Amino acid sequence: MRSPRALVGGSPQARFTVDFDGRELPALEGQSIAAALWAAGILAWRTTREGGAPRGAFCGIGSCYDCLVTVNGLPNQRACLVPARPGDAVTTQEGTGRADLAV
């Protein structure tokens, strides 16, 4: 089977885990949090303020803010831009991600 990595002659990078909503997920050095979530089959990791509709990566370049997650307690992080790091604690973000400041 041909993969993008095989086509460019890449080699596997260092593997580690991140925690997503209490579940350990594998990640690779250089992967964004969104890429690690996608690789684990997770397509939605945020809900909208109004209606609670699921959201995940949409644009993939940090323009749309659909991929917001909470990383290590810091809300409103764009999963498509934040590199995954060993031991990161990533949680689903509901609404604004700051319940104490919600309006």
Domains with residue ranges and CATH for the chain: 14-94 (3.10.20.440)
**pLDDT the model gives residue 97:** 66
Which whole-number Å values give the CA distances from 52 to 6, 35, 92, in the listed order?
Answer: 39, 23, 12
Question: pTM for the complete prediction?
Answer: 0.79
Rounded CA separation 39/27 (Å): 8
Rounded CA separation 75/101 (Å): 12
pLDDT along the chain (103 residues), means of 10: 73 86 94 95 88 86 89 93 96 72 42
Question: Which of 56, 53, 63 lies closest to 40 in space, CA to CA?
Answer: 56
**pLDDT the model gives residue 4:** 72
**pLDDT the model gives residue 103:** 37
